[in-house]
């Protein structure tokens, strides 16, 4: 299995109805990082993630992975988890079947649920689970696919602190097991907790791409500094 990283992005632009939502973004994504895409609401974080994952087609610029069929080695978790109307376990098995797994999907699915601490809910209908449980289920589904890159779009924005903590623990565990993490958030505290690298977006432009420590101690741009201080940016 070839590695799809590093990801090389050059001059990425995305316009909606003439409006540039992402402007001339260039970045490199290397294996092993926990990259947090930070920025105020409306900065274009979600759009950027979707462009990288291939859910949106760039208006101009390139998104180049290091191997073909790249999306097979990626997974994405959305702010609101999308579950099928079937049991929690069946949702994971569905993802495995679609990915072309042959046979032992039940065992792999149960293992994934176990790793996120949801083994006792395996046969419960997915949609009756709480928000936090569903999000952990979404992570289990992603983990079962053993992705090289995991994208997460504001995964805990709708969750309470306890659920947020549980989700962050899973993300950390997946990273430890070898998955490169790319995550958006507008919560600075979460960024501080999780990031090894920070991409700071403002009005569609990539203002900074630095290791986390450097970013938080010595932001290079005025906008980043203001953001860290907690000011409103527009």
**Residue 72 found at the interface with other proteins (CB under 8 A):** yes
Q: What contacts 149, CB < 8 A, 6 or more positions away?
A: 4, 5, 7, 29, 73, 74, 75, 179, 180, 181, 182
Q: Is the peptide bond before 6 cis (omega within 30 degrees of 0)?
A: yes
Q: Residues binding other proteins: what is the number (CB under 8 A)? A: 23
Residue 228 C-beta: closest distance to other proteins, Å: 31
Find the Cα–Cα–Cα–Cα dihedral 29, 50, 78, 114, rounded to 10°: -40
User: Which candidate, 138, 158, 22, places its Cα nearest to that of 75?
Assistant: 138
Tokens describing residue 111: 């293992």
| Binding flags for other proteins, 40-69, as an x/- string (CB under 8 A) | ----------x--xxx--------------
Candidate residues 9, 38, 52, 76; the one interacting with other proteins per rule CB under 8 A: 76
| Min CB(101)–other proteins separation in Å | 12
**Shortest spacing between CB 157 and other proteins, in angstroms:** 16
Inter-CA distances, 225 with 6, 86, 184, 202, 230, Å: 29, 46, 18, 12, 9
Binding marks (x or -) toward other proteins, 95..114, rule CB under 8 A? x--xx---------------
Nearer to other proteins, 93 or 115 (CB): 93
Q: Under the rule (CB under 8 A), what is the footprint of other proteins?
A: 50, 53-55, 71-72, 74-76, 78, 82, 84-86, 94-95, 98-99, 125-128, 145
């Amino acid at each position: 299995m070839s590695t799809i990283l590093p990801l090389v992005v050059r001059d990425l632009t995305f316009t909606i109805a003439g409006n540039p939502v992402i402007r001339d973004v260039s970045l490199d994504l290397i294996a092993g990082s926990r990259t947090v895409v930070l920025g105020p609401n409306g900065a274009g974080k979600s759009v950027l993630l979707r462009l990288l994952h291939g859910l949106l087609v760039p208006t101009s610029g390139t998104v180049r992975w290091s191997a073909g069929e790249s999306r097979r080695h990626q997974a994405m978790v959305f702010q609101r988890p999308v579950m099928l109307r079937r049991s929690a376990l069946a949702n994971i098995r569905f993802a495995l079947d679609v990915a072309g797994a042959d046979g032992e999907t039940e065992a792999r699915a149960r293992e994934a649920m176990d790793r996120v601490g949801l083994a006792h809910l395996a046969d419960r209908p997915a949609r009756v689970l709480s928000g936090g449980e569903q999000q952990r289920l979404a992570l289990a589904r992603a983990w079962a696919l053993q992705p090289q890159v995991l994208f997460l779009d504001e995964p805990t924005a709708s969750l309470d602190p306890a659920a947020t903590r549980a989700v962050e623990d899973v993300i950390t565990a997946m990273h430890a097991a070898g998955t490169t993490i790319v995550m958006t958030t507008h919560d600075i505290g979460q960024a501080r907790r999780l990031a090894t690298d920070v991409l700071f977006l403002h009005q569609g432009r990539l203002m900074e791409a630095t290791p986390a420590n450097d970013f938080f101690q010595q932001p290079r741009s005025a906008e980043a500094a203001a953001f860290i201080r907690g000011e409103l940016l527009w």
